[in-house]
């Protein structure tokens, strides 16, 4: 359902409610006004007739001449006045307004709603010579109802015109807004296709302009992220190819040569005069070398100690290797919680790789002589657990803007994001660097 349709529908429903409420109030007021007008006319007629006949007792008076004159009064237009003689004869003269043929009579349902109940009124009066007459007054408010009907028609016509004007004004006001919405929707569809450089125009309406600027900022961030992901993917492919090339070279240089030496020693031992002990010793020495090479390659591909002994032992082994190769660098592991060994395998390997990458960067670029790796599980009051990893060195640090161009930090951020965590970097020139990762544990 479109916004325009919803707004028009709500205006229509509100207008209908106003019409129903206004109609009910108008009918109630019309009924009350007609009743008061009729009652007032009856009281006035009774008073005038009583006064007239009281004067008639002192002078000759012909009621058949007096009644038409009285009926011609405008105040008695709602009444049908008759006189009844003692013999039962009815003296009646039609009101001139009652003989008028109205050009527009109200509908019967309106008459039934407004007319109400007006009982016939009878009063005894004394005419000239002590003659007793019965005054019969019957309400006939048709002309008053007709006036009320015409006023109601004018009122509801004005209300309908006002409703149409409201529809027109609202639609004119929303036309520009809906056009802006259409432009924004089309812009989002273009962004959905990956065209992040397409920008939305500026809008004169402040709210839509704020939305457009937010979308343009989002598109810019998506474009930057897309470029970073492409660069990271390309870098990962290059690292993968380099790793394959290195492994292939090691297999050729180490395994190939060692297997060739074993084959030569085996062939030599087949001769009758060969020194069997020397051949077997050589083969055993070559096999020991092969085992060392294979262990080194397996450790580079995946640390077996991580699967066998857990994360804490793996990090201790990793720091031990780096400390042996870099005696000037003091490495400290702060991991008081043994529950880290029970972490999921996907979390453990990612944490291990992040620490491995950080140590590589510290040795290559930081020029630090001390680094501390802290790993602990934080528990909140709501029993939620978070793994917190902090790697801090006292090296030369760097400007935060330069970190955005490095693939190492980008790769670590992607590893943390894949686990639903967050990575923060704190660094200043000559102030060292701190890398803090928070990973939620579910």
| Cα 261 from Cα 257, distance rounded (Å) | 6
Mean pLDDT of 282-302: 81
Q: Is residue 403 within 8 Å of residue 423, measured between CB atoms?
A: no
For the segment 407-428, the average pLDDT, to the nearest whole number, is 86
Per-residue model confidence (pLDDT) at position 49: 64
- Contact present, 395 and 368 (Cβ < 8 Å): yes
Q: Which of 263-267, 331-335, 418-422 has the lowest mean pLDDT?
A: 263-267
Q: How far is CA 309 from the centre of its chain?
A: 48
pLDDT given at position 97: 47
Query: Is it the case that residue 308 has pLDDT exceeding 70?
Result: yes
Q: What average pLDDT does this structure show over 191-218?
A: 87
pLDDT digits (tens, 9 = 90+) for 80-91: 666 777 777 776
Domain range list for the chain: 3-97+104-168, 305-441
pLDDT (tens digit per residue) in 42-59: 676 666 666 655 555 555
Predicted pLDDT of residue 389: 94
pLDDT of 434 reads 92
How much is the pLDDT for 213? 92
- Phi, psi of 391, deg, nearest 5: -120, 115
Residue 215 reports pLDDT greater than 70:
yes
Q: Please check the confidence at residue 358 and state whether its pLDDT lies above 80.
A: yes
Mean pLDDT, range 273-287, rounded to an integer: 83
Both structure tokens of 185: 């929707």
Q: What is the mean predicted confidence (pLDDT) over 315-334?
A: 90
- Determine phi and psi for 98, rounding to 5 degrees: -70, -20
Average pLDDT over residues 312-330: 90
Least confident interval from 110-114, 140-144, 234-238: 140-144
162 vs 373, which has greater pLDDT?
373
Query: What's residue 106's pLDDT?
Result: 79
Q: For the chain, what's the residue count?
A: 442
Over residues 349-354, the mean pLDDT reads 90
Predicted TM-score of the model (pTM):
0.50
Residue 101 has pLDDT above 50, yes or no: no
Res 373: pLDDT: 94
* For residue 98, pLDDT beyond 50: no
pLDDT value of residue 64:
54
- Average pLDDT of the chain is 79
Average pLDDT over residues 422-428: 89
pLDDT beyond 60 at 399: yes
Give CA separation, 287 vs 257, 264, 266, 296, 406, in Å: 11, 14, 13, 14, 41
Q: What is the reported pLDDT for 359? A: 92
Share of the chain above pLDDT 90, in %: 11
- In the predicted structure, residue 94 carries a pLDDT above the cut 60: no
Residues with Cβ within 8 Å of 437's Cβ and at least 6 positions away in sequence, in order, are 351, 354, 387, 388, 389, 390, 412, 416, 421, 422, 423, 424
| Ranges 6-10, 200-204, 369-373: which has the least confidence | 6-10
Quick one: pLDDT band at residue 371, thresholds 50, 70, 90? very high
- Give the mean pLDDT of 326-343: 88
More confident residue, 413 or 34: 413
The yes or no reply on domain 305-441 and CATH 3.20.20.150 is no
Confidence grade of residue 292 (pLDDT, cut at 50, 70, 90): confident
Q: What is the mean pLDDT of residues 218-246?
A: 80
Measured in whole angstroms, how far is the alpha carbon of residue 243 from the centre of its chain?
48
Is pLDDT above 60 for 345?
yes
């Amino acid at each position: 359902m479109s916004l325009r349709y919803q707004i028009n529908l709500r205006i229509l429903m509100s207008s209908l409610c106003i019409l129903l409420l206004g109609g009910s109030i108008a009918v109630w007021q019309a009924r009350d006004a007609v009743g008061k007008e009729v009652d007032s006319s009856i009281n006035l007629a009774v008073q005038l007739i009583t006064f007239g006949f009281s004067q008639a007792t002192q002078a000759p008076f012909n009621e058949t001449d007096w009644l038409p004159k009285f009926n011609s009064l405008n105040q008695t237009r709602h009444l049908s006045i008759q006189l009844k003689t003692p013999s039962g004869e009815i003296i009646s003269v039609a009101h001139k307004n009652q003989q008028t043929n109205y050009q527009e009579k109200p509908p019967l349902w309106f008459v039934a709603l407004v007319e109400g109940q007006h009982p016939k009124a009878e009063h005894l009066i004394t005419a000239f010579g002590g003659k007793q007459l019965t005054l019969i007054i019957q309400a006939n408010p048709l002309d008053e109802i007709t006036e009320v009907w015409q006023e109601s028609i004018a009122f509801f016509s004005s209300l309908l015109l006002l409703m149409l004007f409201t529809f027109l004004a609202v639609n004119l006001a929303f036309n520009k807004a809906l056009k802006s919405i259409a432009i924004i929707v089309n812009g989002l569809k273009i962004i959905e296709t990956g065209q992040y450089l397409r920008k939305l125009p500026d809008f004169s309406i402040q709210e839509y302009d704020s939305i457009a600027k937010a979308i343009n900022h989002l598109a810019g961030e998506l474009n930057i992220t897309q470029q970073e992901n492409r660069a990271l993917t390309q870098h990962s492919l290059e690292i993968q190819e380099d790793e394959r090339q290195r492994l292939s070279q090691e297999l050729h240089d180490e395994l190939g040569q060692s297997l060739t030496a074993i084959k030569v020693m085996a062939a030599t031992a087949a001769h009758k005069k060969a020194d069997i002990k020397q051949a077997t010793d050589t083969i055993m020495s070559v096999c020991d070398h092969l085992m060392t090479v294979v262990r080194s390659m397996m450790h580079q591909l995946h640390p077996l100690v991580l699967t066998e002994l857990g994360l804490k032992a793996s990090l201790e082994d990793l720091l031990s290797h780096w400390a042996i190769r870099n005696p000037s660098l003091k490495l400290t592991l702060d991991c008081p919680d043994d529950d880290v060994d029970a972490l999921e395998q996907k979390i453990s390997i990612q944490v291990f790789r992040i620490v491995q990458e950080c140590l590589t960067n510290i040795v290559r670029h930081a020029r630090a002589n001390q680094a501390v790796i802290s790993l602990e599980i934080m528990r909140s009051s709501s029993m939620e657990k978070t793994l917190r990893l902090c790697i801090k060195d006292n090296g030369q640090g760097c400007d935060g803007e330069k970190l955005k161009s490095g693939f190492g930090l980008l790769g670590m951020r992607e590893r943390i994001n894949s686990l639903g965590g967050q990575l923060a970097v704190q660094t200043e020139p000559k102030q060292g660097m701190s890398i803090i990762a928070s990973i939620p544990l579910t």
